[in-house]
A and B are shown apart, each in its own frame.
Chain A
Amino acid sequence: MKPARFDYVRAATLAEAHAALAEGGDDARIIAGGQSLVPMLSMRLARPAVLIDIMHLPALTKIGVKGDSIRVEAAVRQAELLAWPELRERQPLLAAALPWVGHAQTRSRGTVCGSVAHADPSAELPLTLLALKGAVELSSQKRRRHVAAEEFFTGLMSTARNDDELIEAVEFPCRAAGHGYAFTEFARRHGDFAIVACAAVASKDGARLAIGGVADIPTARDFAGIEGDALDDALDEFAGGLDARDDLHATAKYRRALVRRLGRATIEEARRCRA
């Protein structure tokens, strides 16, 4: 279980990273924390010709508030964000979801942007980004662009990122006045990828529910002005519309059932949190 060969570039500046990406094309991969990429290398499921290490760029290490969003740069580790003193106040959903990401021993190295780039359908951070209608900031030698989370995740572990682009930062909208947030996850064991993960945002107009672990990409739905049995019916319809996976750990039917049951509970918790 050893990786195939690759070149290694430790980028000292963003420009170096962009240049190496431009040169490497789809044979190049960014490595940040490496918590998802290195096992894929060891299993030879990923076979890049060159790895570009962006963890030594002084430019990409900040967590900050930009406008109404928390901006998390590419070299920020998950544990660093979890330890950010303003986190719970700025965005309780992110604070609730982060402890579910892997284990302490992987959050210490894994980056927030790396998890978004990896786009595992069961991962908590892509789900949270989608639930909050956040955005991904991509940059390359040629340009810089923002992609809304809803457009970023395009399929099973695939995203709107072009080969010459790297994720420079992700932006999680800060808590909004009068909104409530809740996160619920069910996995076989603590720390496993979710069988079903639910992130809910409640406002006076209704609720938004994002679901991870069920289909190939995290999926969100807005339930405006629906309550009681009508909400159950809408959740049933939402769950039924998800292209749910059948695997060793759970059937598609079970996943859909959990979307209905946990989804409802998560929405209700988010509503309670509005108060």
Chain B
Amino acid sequence: MPRLSADARHRIRFELNGHTVEGDAEPRMLLTDFLRHTLGMTGTHVGCEHGVCGACTVEIDGVPARACLTLAVQADGARIRTVEGLAPAPRRLSVLQEAFRRHHALQCGFCTAGILMSLDHYLRHHPDPGEADLREFLSGHLCRCTGYAPILAAALDAAAKLREASAHA
């Protein structure tokens, strides 16, 4: 990639939820703005734009990351997953999403996308987490509605269900 000049827009292309997407961005455009306003993927939310709240967490190249701490140009060529890619099909929810609904692990739902993206990744790599592990891992997310208790319950329940499913697979 050559030097991208500050005051022009440049073509950015990456894989989003399994599909190639593209759009134009100035070098300074944040990935959050690019996802939401250029690509129209508004499921990723913006809560602080300084990397603390975790609402904008997406998966970049296989790991959870803050979209607000990423420039769109940095994401060129990357593989990105967002909350829109979690459900297995329209009108169906993933095991984790189901658990969130069952345990009332969301109220306003604004921080939820980021928490789901983090947990989706975590449970794939840690199928049998303890509550303390989950508390440590989720401390990178702020939720103002739930007090976290139902989120932890949903995560533990989802982990159990996923283990059960993989045992029967």
Contact = CB atoms under 8 A, between A and B. Distances in A.
Interface of A: 1-10, 12, 20, 31, 34-35, 38-39, 41-43, 49-51, 53, 55, 79, 102-106, 108-109, 189-191
Nearest to B140: A103
B64 to A, nearest CB: 5
Given A8-B27, A190-B139, A105 B57 contact: yes
Contacts of B118: 104-105
A9 B4 contact: yes
A104 B27 contact: no
B50 A53 contact: no
- The 4 A-B pairs with the shortest beta carbon distances in the complex, nearest first, are A103-B140, A8-B27, A5-B6, A108-B63
A50 B73 CA distance: 13
B74 interface: yes
A43 B50 contact: yes
Interface in B24-50: 26-28, 30, 33, 49-50
Interface of B: 1-7, 26-28, 30, 33, 49-51, 54, 57, 60, 63-66, 68-71, 73-74, 76, 118, 122, 136-137, 139-141
A212 B66 CA distance: 26
B1 A105 contact: no
A109 B65 contact: yes
B46 to A, nearest CB: 9
Contacts of A50: 3
6 contacts: A9-B3, A31-B74, A79-B63, A103-B140, A106-B69, A189-B139
Contact of A105 (B7, B30, B54): B54
A41 B28 contact: yes
B6 A38 contact: no
A6 B28 CA distance: 6
A7 B4 contact: yes
